[in-house]
C-alpha cells in the first residue's frame, strides 16, 4: 500500500517536473497512443512466458546438478563443482549471444529466438538453483536419512518421499527470489530480438523518438510486475511458516 502511494507520487512528480514531457506517445485516449501502449504491454506475455519456462527448466537441471554434489564419490562432487563454477562465470548476456549465434553452428541445428533465450537463461540460473538445492538438502537432519534407511527405503525413495519434500519447503523463498531475478534478466534477451518488454520499448523508441516517456513506461512495467511477484512470494513464505508450527 505504502509502496503504491510512493509510486503514484513519483509518477506525478515526473509528469509535472518539465514541459518537455511528451506523454502523447502512450496516451490511451489517442489512437496512436493506445496502439503504442498495447504494443508495449504486449511484451509482458513474452517476458512472463520466457521467465517461467526458463525457471521450470533450471529447477529441474539445478536439482540434477545438486544431487551429485552431495554424493560420497569424489568424481560426482567434482562434476557438480565444475558445472557450477563454469556456468556461474559466464555473463548472462554473453551466454545468450553464444547460444543464439554459436550453438546452432556447433550442433548444426536451428534455434528460434524464444528457445535460445530460454536455454541461456535456464543454463545460467541452473547453477544458482544447484547451490540452492544443495543447501536445502543439506539442511535436512541426518536423522531423516537414518529413519528412511531403517524402514528400508532406497536412495530414490528416500529423496523423493522424505528429503526433497522437506528441502523444497525450505528453499521456496529462495526459488521465489530466483524467479524475480529471472524476470529482470529476461530483459537481456531483447538483444537477439525476442519481443519481450525491453525489446518492444527499444523498437518503439526508434520510430517515435520519445525515449524518456517510453523507458519510463518500461521501468513502471517491470516495477509493477516485480512488486506483484514479490508480494506473492512473501505470501507463500508466510503460509509455509504458518505450516511449520
Residue number with CB closer to another protein (166 or 202): 166
Helix (H) or strand (E) holding 240: helix 211-244
How many residues belong to the site for another protein (CB under 8 A)? 19
Per CB under 8 A, the list member of 15, 28, 91, 165 interacting with another protein is 165
Please count the other Cβ atoms lying within 10 Å of the Cβ belonging to residue 24.
Answer: 14
Nearer to another protein, 74 or 142 (CB): 142
> What mask, x for binding another protein by CB under 8 A, covers residues 86 to 125?
----------------------------------------
> Which residue spans within 51-204 are E strands per DSSP?
none
Question: Shortest approach of another protein to residue 243 CB, angstroms?
Answer: 9
Nearest to 61 by CA among 128, 160, 109, 106: 128
Among 37, 93, 111, 166, binds another protein (CB under 8 A): 166
User: Any idea what DSSP says for residue 16?
Assistant: H
Kindly state the smallest distance separating residue 245's Cβ from another protein, in Å.
8
Rounded Cα gap, residues 226 and 184, in angstroms:
8
Other CB atoms within 10 A of residue 155 CB = 12
Query: For residues 105 and 150, which CB has a smaller minimum distance to another protein in the complex?
Result: 150
- C-alpha span between 206 and 189 (Å, rounded): 18
Segment 132-161, which members bind another protein (CB under 8 A)? Answer: 141, 143-144, 146-154, 157, 161
Positions in 168-197 near another protein (CB under 8 A): 169
Nearest residue (CB) to another protein, 16 versus 143 = 143
Shortest reach from residue 148's CB to another protein, in Å: 8
Distance (Å, whole) CA 123 – CA 58: 6
Min separation Cβ 150 and another protein, Å: 4
Residue recorded with cell 501502449:
37
- Cβ at position 155, least distance to another protein in Å: 12
Contact 91, 112 (CB under 8 A): no
Alpha carbons 34 and 190: distance in angstroms, whole number: 23
CA dihedral 93, 96, 98, 99 (to 10 degrees): 170
- Binding mask 226-245 toward another protein (x if CB under 8 A, else -) reads -------------------x
> 211-244 vs 31-69: helix axis angle to the nearest 10?
40
The distance of closest approach from Cβ of residue 151 to another protein in the complex, given in angstroms and rounded to an integer, is 3
List of residues contacting another protein (CB under 8 A): 141, 143-144, 146-154, 157, 161-162, 165-166, 169, 245
Amino acid at each position: 500500500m505504502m509502496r503504491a502511494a510512493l509510486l503514484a507520487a513519483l509518477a506525478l512528480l515526473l509528469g509535472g517536473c518539465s514541459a518537455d514531457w511528451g506523454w502523447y506517445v502512450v496516451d490511451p485516449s489517442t489512437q496512436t497512443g493506445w496502439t503504442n501502449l498495447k504494443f508495449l504491454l504486449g511484451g509482458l506475455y513474452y517476458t512472463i512466458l520466457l521467465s517461467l519456462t526458463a525457471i521450470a527448466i533450471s529447477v529441474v537441471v539445478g536439482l540434477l546438478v545438486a544431487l551429485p554434489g552431495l554424493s560420497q564419490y569424489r568424481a560426482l562432487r567434482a562434476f557438480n563443482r565444475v558445472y557450477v563454477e563454469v556456468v556461474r562465470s559466464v555473463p548472462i548476456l554473453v551466454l545468450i549471444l553464444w547460444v543464439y549465434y554459436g550453438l546452432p553452428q556447433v550442433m548444426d541445428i536451428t534455434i528460434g529466438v524464444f528457445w535460445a533465450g530460454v536455454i541461456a537463461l535456464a543454463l545460467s540460473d541452473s547453477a544458482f538453483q544447484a547451490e540452492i538445492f544443495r543447501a536445502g538438502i543439506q539442511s535436512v537432519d541426518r536423522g531423516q536419512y537414518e529413519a528412511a534407511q531403517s524402514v528400508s527405503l532406497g536412495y530414490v525413495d528416500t529423496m523423493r518421499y522424505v528429503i526433497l519434500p522437506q528441502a523444497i519447503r525450505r528453499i521456496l523463498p529462495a526459488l521465489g527470489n530466483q524467479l524475480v531475478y529471472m524476470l529482470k534478466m529476461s530483459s537481456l534477451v531483447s538483444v537477439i530480438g525476442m519481443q519481450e518488454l525491453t525489446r518492444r520499448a527499444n523498437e518503439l523508441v526508434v520510430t517515435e523518438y520519445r525515449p524518456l516517456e517510453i523507458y519510463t513506461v518500461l521501468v513502471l512495467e517491470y516495477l509493477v510486475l516485480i512488486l506483484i511477484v514479490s508480494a506473492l512470494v512473501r505470501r507463500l513464505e508466510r503460509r509455509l511458516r504458518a505450516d511449520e508450527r
